[in-house]
Structure 1
């Protein structure tokens, strides 16, 4: 099975940027230790600090799906409920 790349874009409410950022940062170390995680890198837009992006690579889609069902993601969702304006996720395959 091909490696899976995930690009997740999270836009926080203007008054909740620091809350969302802190909660996203909490996900990094625990996710990097998960089976199948190749990289899990958080970025913040230089001109729009409310926009965050995770760039992730996983050994397989199945291992990524296991990650998506983990407790720490549910805890993030609960902690940031009502604080995120938009969330988009793209599953991608490297072609070059």
Structure 2
């Protein structure tokens, strides 16, 4: 099975940007320890401090789906409810 690449885009409401940033940072280390995590990086947009991106590489889809059910991810979802303006996630394949 091929690796799965994920790019997640998270835009916080401006007044909640710092709170969301701190909560996203809390996800990094536990997620890096999740089975199947190859790479897990958080990025912040240079011109919009409320815009964040995760670049993730997972061994496979099954292990990524297990990550999506973890306590740390569910806690993040709960505490940031109402603070996220927009969210999107893309699954990518390496073509070159």
Q: TM-score range by the shorter chain?
A: over 0.9
Shift of 1:12: 0.3
CA-atom RMSD, angstroms?
0.5
Hey, what does 2:36 align to over in structure 1? 36
Tell me which stretches of 4 or more aligned residues in structure 1 moved more than 4 Å.
none
Q: Deviations over 1:39-92 (max 9, x none)?
A: 100000000111000000000010000000111111001110100000000011
Give the number of aligned pairs: 96
Q: Which runs of 5+ in 2 are unaligned?
A: none
Pair 1:10 & 2:10 matched: yes
Q: Deviations over 1:7-61 (max 9, x none)?
A: 0000000100011000000000000011100010000000011100000000001
TM-score computed with the length of structure 2 as normaliser? 0.98
Q: Which runs of 5+ in 1 are unaligned?
A: none
TM-score computed with the length of structure 1 as normaliser? 0.98
Hey, what does 2:82 align to over in structure 1? 82
Hey, what does 2:25 align to over in structure 1? 25
